[in-house]
């Protein structure tokens, strides 16, 4: 299951998982027709779950629908997220709550619903469930003009570790990916800002913005048996941004 699968990083991860042989449940607020076509082109099943992740109300139903259609939920990728920009002195409560609800609160309760299901079959089969959260460079740094996004992604890092601590014994691995500067809708404003774009590229050793496909390999690794002994880790896929 990949949330926020309509475009960008979510689409890149969904396609990478499909290429590795996984059937994929695509959770999106708008019809992810392009992603569905790309997944099905890999010869696996794609099931679309239409859901608004601005509240926790649909979480249990999303898991139930996925299990009912695909048979089991082995991997959850919590990719859905939003961002709001304004100076910290002027930032509104509405923008704070909107971002925290999607990026942190729903991430936790959807993970909870998935983990309850995974715990049941993992204890019987000996296989492991995998939860992969999408963190951010701002899990490690403060950023500017995105206070609720920074708070939410810092929280994602902490929750990743907490869930790993509690659910490892249940046969579930919980890890996160921290994408660097990836060319998506969320970063369109930065790409369009000539000065900021130049500053970003000057710091990245790879010298380019990342592509959503760059995140796919990391997601496949963390979702696979190759990562069975990886727990509570935040994997930066950033072209060397943090190394600089």
Which residues does the annotation mark as catalytic?
A: 149
Query: 241: part of which helix (H) or strand (E)?
Result: none
d(CA 218, CA 135): 13
For Cα atoms 68, 74, 79, give the angle at the middle one, nearest 5 degrees: 95
d(CA 35, CA 78): 16
Query: 236: part of which helix (H) or strand (E)?
Result: strand 234-237
Handedness of CA 98, 101, 107, 113 (dihedral sign): negative
Direct distance between the N- and C-terminal alpha carbons of the chain, in angstroms, rounded to an integer: 34
Cβ atoms 114, 76 nearer than 8 A: yes
How many other CB atoms are found less than 10 A from the CB of residue 95? 19
Helices (H), 101-235: 106-125, 147-167, 188-192, 194-203, 212-223
């Amino acid at each position: 299951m990949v949330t926020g699968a309509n475009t960008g990083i979510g689409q890149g991860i969904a396609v990478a998982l499909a290429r590795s042989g996984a059937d994929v449940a695509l959770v999106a607020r708008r019809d992810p027709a392009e992603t569905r076509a790309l997944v099905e082109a890999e010869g696996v099943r794609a099931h679309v779950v239409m859901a608004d992740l601005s509240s926790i109300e649909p979480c249990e139903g999303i898991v139930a629908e996925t299990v009912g259609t695909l048979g089991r939920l082995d991997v959850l990728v919590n990719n859905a997220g939003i961002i709001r920009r304004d100076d910290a002195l002027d930032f509104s409560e509405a923008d704070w709550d909107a971002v925290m609800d999607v990026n942190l609160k729903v991430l936790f309760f959807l993970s909870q619903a998935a983990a309850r299901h995974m715990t049941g079959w993992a204890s019987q089969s000996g296989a492991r469930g995998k939860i992969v959260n999408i963190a951010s460079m701002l899990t490690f740094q403060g950023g500017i003009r995105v206070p609720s996004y920074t708070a939410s992604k810092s929280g994602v890092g902490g929750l990743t570790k907490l869930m790993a601590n509690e659910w490892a014994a249940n046969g579930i691995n919980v890890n996160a990916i921290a994408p660097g500067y990836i060319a998506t809708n969320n970063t369109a404003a930065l790409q369009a800002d000539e000065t900021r774009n130049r500053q970003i590229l000057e710091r990245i050793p790879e010298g380019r913005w990342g592509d959503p496909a760059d995140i796919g390999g990391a997601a496949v690794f963390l979702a696979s048996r190759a990562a069975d002994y990886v727990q509570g880790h935040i994997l930066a896929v950033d072209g060397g941004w943090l190394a600089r």
